[in-house]
Amino acid sequence: MKNMVLLIDANVLLNYLLNRGVECDYAMTVINSCRKGKVRGYMAFHTVSILWYALRKKPVQERRELLLDLCKIINVAGVSHDSVMSALENEAFSDFEDCLQEKCAEACNARYIVTENIKDYKTSTVPAITAAEMVDILLSMER
């Protein structure tokens, strides 16, 4: 299981960072699995700026510390110029940001994209699952 790689979407990371929503416990379990080294977690490079903006009501220093702490647990996946070009040409995704997520998931060899918006990834080459589904997988692998 240690070799399982996940690309974690901003919505799951925000559930974790802000302790929000009914999915928060699942997000915490997924992130804690990354922290403990049970799986390797990644976030797309552009997710960092999405999180920075989403946390804008917090003081700058607190945002900085939250994201620095998160980046100690979750790696940042980048993509090449060619991957961005490919994403721009991909008409299967209605949301360009989701297509970039897919490209980052491919770049880090993720088995899953963990997101609360699985419908946005119907055409993704990397399967999308919810944090709750990921927790079920983690539990089944521990048995």
Domains annotated for the chain, with CATH where assigned, are 5-138 (3.40.50.1010)
Q: Over 80: is that where the pLDDT of 2 sits?
A: no
- Tokens 């996940």: give the residue: 6
DSSP-derived 3-state class of residue 6: strand
Looking at the chain, which runs of residues are DSSP E strands?
5-8, 40-44, 75-77, 112-114, 128-129
Q: For 101, phi and psi rounded to 5 degrees?
A: -60, -45
- Tokens 């994201």: give the residue: 67
Please tell me the distance from the alpha carbon of residue 74 to that of residue 87, in angstroms, as a whole number.
23
- Type of residue numbered 122: K
Q: Using an 8 Å Cβ cutoff, are 37 and 6 in contact?
A: no
Residue 32 CB neighbours (<10 A): 13
Q: What is the pTM of this model?
A: 0.92
Q: What is the pLDDT of residues 42-63, one digit of tens each?
A: 999 999 999 999 999 999 999 9
Q: What is the pLDDT of residues 62-93, one digit of tens each?
A: 999 999 999 999 999 998 898 888 888 878 77
Question: Residue 60: which residues within 8 A CB-CB, separation 6 or more?
Answer: none
Q: Supply the pLDDT for residue 31.
A: 97
Q: For 6, phi and psi rounded to 5 degrees?
A: -125, 140
